[in-house]
């Protein structure tokens, strides 16, 4: 697709997209050449995320450029320039040193999207310590599990969060030496301190120590279907992936106003809510509040957001509203919209084109990959329902396991298999904390095996089929839940759908769908039959759901993924497992 044609159709492209020709860019790309996007620490002292994201801008011509605009729940607006961020993160790094927190020590942060969270992240990286974000809505048990497993030495949190979720477990957290409270102004005890008092007592000058690109920078805890949460280890070198993908997958330019709606408790909120936009020197919008359609449209309008990165679940919520947003809000500045978290249904792409007059660009990656691996691009064709094509520098393939140690690559188009990546990209996770054997199992025959099933078409576009452990085996057929969910969502009554396999003595598993309805529709036996018939019509009898249950609130993770395993646990009366990432109303 020609970018000039896009410009004529939207009027919102001040400059050409960063990636104008996908094939040529892939052919000429090298990670070595991509280092030109970064500065490195002065005097060849290594690579540090915070230097690339803040200090190099503050030391140059963008010192007074707006780095973060923070929007509070009650209407407060705080602006931070790159110069401000440098001084504040310097202070936090000095606080860590004063408290005996050094290189490799784990700094956990448990709070909402408040400025202290972002300053703590940057100061932690400056100090060579390890940033470990937690969802503010976590309960006491998942917080305890992560603090204990991560051997957290310092925790930044609020007075309420500490009292309700951490204090009682302090005796069982021997590594946790200091608590910094963001919302008190006097120290409570020798080890429960007021962050503001500590910050004012130290200098705003700090020299980042030598940082090896392979030094650990961040640990993101991600829940599996069973067992304890996994701590995915990421290093400072990941910032190179963030810089490249911010340019190519999100098409960020220096004068953009960028808004990533994800919480830093989820990897997207750290990689693309903090590191990537700041590394490219853009203005980053941070909203403290949760989802509210009117508020979100106001932000897009009033802040003149040009690039917006959000989740399919939020898009589907917007789709349920019965009004024309362009009649009430000025979205003319909005140039590029991207989505991640789970596959974006084709009808959502169509909705974006018809209602927002913007194409929503889906992309794919994981906590383990650290950055976007496959994407739809600004100047390239978007095929609704496809996750897109691999980033320059990323080799992806569909493979089939031969045995535990060998796979073969599937080269024929439209054949399902496991999505795999060739290791070596800078943001690839370097391990699971304390679980080396589990880490090694992720790599088979020279490939990282993602655990996602997908297929590739004849033009190199990848299409999500489902998680390997979500696939439904029914009457000899392999059914991907996403395909069924997407088909059901084409019915005007269906807002969201979650599909599972239900054990059946005759056919192995039957396909069951849990359906949330759009406004104006009520559950009924008539609608149930109508949806069953619609599914058979769209999918055929072998794939279509045999049972439908209306459930207005489908369980989701905080990153917006429908928790199919939880639906299945409820259906079969099985243990729920780890529900620490379950979204709460």
Model confidence pLDDT, tens digit, residues 357-380: 999 999 999 999 999 999 999 999
165-184: b (≥16 Cβ within 10 Å) or e: bbeeebeebeebebbbbbeb
Give residue 504's pLDDT: 85
Question: Mean pLDDT for the chain?
Answer: 92
Of the two residues 390 and 16, the one the predictor is more confident about is 390
Q: What does the alpha-carbon distance between residue 555 and residue 85 come to, in Å, rounded to a whole number?
A: 37
Q: Is 351's pLDDT higher than 70?
A: yes
Sheet with 77-81: strands ordered across: 77-81, 66-71, 283-287, 257-260, 307-310, 336-339, 360-364, 374-375, 389-390
Model confidence pLDDT, tens digit, residues 136-185: 877 788 888 899 999 999 999 999 999 999 999 999 999 999 999 999 99
| Structure confidence at residue 539 as a pLDDT band (50, 70, 90) | confident
Q: From start to end of 482-558, where are the E strands?
A: 494-504, 508-517, 547-550
Residue 203, H or E segment: none
- 531, 491 Cβ separation under 8 angstroms: yes
Q: What does the alpha-carbon distance between residue 428 and residue 421 come to, in Å, rounded to a whole number?
A: 10
Give residue 135's pLDDT: 85
Q: pTM for the complete prediction?
A: 0.86
Give residue 582's pLDDT: 60
Hey, which residues does 432 pair with through a beta bridge? 232
Give residue 477's pLDDT: 67
The domains found in the chain, sorted by start residue, are: 39-456 (3.40.50.12780), 472-572 (3.30.300.30)
| Structure confidence at residue 83 as a pLDDT band (50, 70, 90) | very high
3-class DSSP state for residue 141? helix
Q: Which two tokens stand for residue 527?
A: 């609608």
3-class DSSP state for residue 375? strand
- 197 burial level (CB within 10 Å; 0-12, 13-18, 19+): middle
Q: What does the alpha-carbon distance between residue 285 and residue 463 come to, in Å, rounded to a whole number?
A: 31
Q: Is 532's pLDDT higher than 90?
A: yes
Model confidence pLDDT, tens digit, residues 421-476: 999 999 999 999 999 999 999 999 999 999 999 999 999 999 998 877 787 878 76
The bridge status of strand 130-134 relative to strand 152-157 is unpaired
Residue 484, H or E segment: helix 481-488
The bridge status of strand 336-339 relative to strand 360-364 is parallel
- 247, 373 Cβ separation under 8 angstroms: no
Model confidence pLDDT, tens digit, residues 262-315: 999 889 999 999 999 999 999 999 999 998 999 999 999 999 999 999 988 889
Of the two residues 260 and 404, the one the predictor is more confident about is 260
């Amino acid at each position: 697709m020609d970018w000039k044609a896009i410009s004529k159709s939207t009027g919102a492209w001040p400059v050409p997209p960063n990636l104008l020709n996908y094939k040529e860019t892939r052919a000429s790309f090298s990670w070595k050449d991509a280092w030109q996007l970064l500065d490195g620490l002065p005097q060849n002292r290594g690579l540090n995320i915070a230097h690339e994201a803040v200090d190099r801008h503050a030391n140059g011509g963008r010192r007074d450029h707006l780095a973060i605009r923070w929007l509070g729940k009650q209407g407060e607006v705080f602006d931070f320039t790159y110069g401000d961020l440098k001084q504040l993160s310097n202070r936090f790094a000095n606080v860590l040193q004063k408290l005996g927190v050094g290189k490799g020590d784990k700094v956990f942060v448990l709070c909402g999207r408040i400025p202290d969270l972002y300053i703590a992240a940057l100061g932690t990286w400056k100090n060579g310590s390890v940033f470990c974000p937690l969802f503010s809505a976590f309960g006491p048990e998942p917080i305890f599990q992560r603090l204990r497993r991560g051997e957290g030495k310092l925790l930044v949190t609020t007075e309420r969060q500490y009292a309700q979720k951490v204090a009682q477990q302090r005796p069982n957290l021997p590594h946790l030496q200091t608590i910094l409270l963001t919302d008190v102004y006097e120290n409570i005890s020798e080890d429960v301190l007021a962050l503001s008092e500590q910050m004012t007592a130290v200098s705003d000058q700090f020299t980042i120590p030598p940082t090896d690109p392979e030094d650990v920078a961040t640990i993101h805890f991600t829940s599996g279907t069973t067992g304890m949460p996994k701590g995915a280890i990421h290093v400072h070198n990941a910032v190179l992936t963030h810089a490249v993908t911010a340019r190519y997958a999100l098409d960020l330019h220096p004068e953009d106003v960028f808004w990533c709606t994800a919480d830093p408790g989820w990897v997207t909120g750290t990689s693309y809510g903090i590191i990537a936009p700041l590394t490219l020197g853009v203005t980053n919008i941070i909203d403290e509040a949760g989802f509210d359609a009117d508020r979100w449209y106001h932000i897009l309008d009033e802040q003149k957001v040009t690039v917006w990165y959000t989740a399919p679940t939020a898009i589907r919520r917007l789709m349920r509203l019965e009004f024309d947003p362009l009649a009430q809000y000025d979205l003319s500045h909005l140039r590029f919209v991207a989505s991640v978290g789970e596959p974006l249904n084709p009808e959502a792409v169509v909705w974006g084109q018809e209602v927002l007059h913007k194409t929503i660009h889906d992309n794919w990656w994981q906590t383990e990959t650290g950055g976007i691996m496959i994407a739809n691009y600004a100047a390239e064709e978007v095929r609704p329902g496809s996750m897109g094509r691999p980033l320059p520098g990323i080799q992806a393939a569909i493979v089939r396991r031969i045995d535990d140690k060998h796979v073969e690559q599937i080269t024929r188009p439209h054949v399902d298999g496991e999505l795999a990546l060739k290791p070596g990209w800078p943001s690839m996770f370097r391990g699971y904390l304390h679980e080396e054997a589990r880490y090694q199992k992720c790599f088979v025959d020279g490939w990282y095996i993602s655990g996602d099933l997908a297929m590739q078409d004849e033009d190199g576009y990848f299409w999500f089929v489902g998680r390997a452990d979500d696939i439904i085996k029914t009457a000899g057929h392999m059914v991907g839940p996403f395909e069924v969910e997407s088909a059901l969502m084409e019915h005007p009554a269906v807002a969201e759908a979650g599909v599972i396999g239900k054990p059946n003595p005759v056919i192995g598993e039957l396909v069951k769908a849990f359906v949330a309805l759009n406004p104006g529709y009520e559950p009924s036996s008539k609608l149930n039959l109508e949806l069953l018939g619609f599914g058979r019509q769209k999918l055929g009898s072998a794939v279509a759901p045999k049972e439908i249950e209306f459930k207005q609130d489908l369980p989701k993770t905080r990153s917006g993924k429908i928790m199919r395993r939880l639906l299945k646990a409820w259906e079969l009366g099985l243990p729920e497992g780890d529900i620490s990432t379950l979204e709460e109303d």
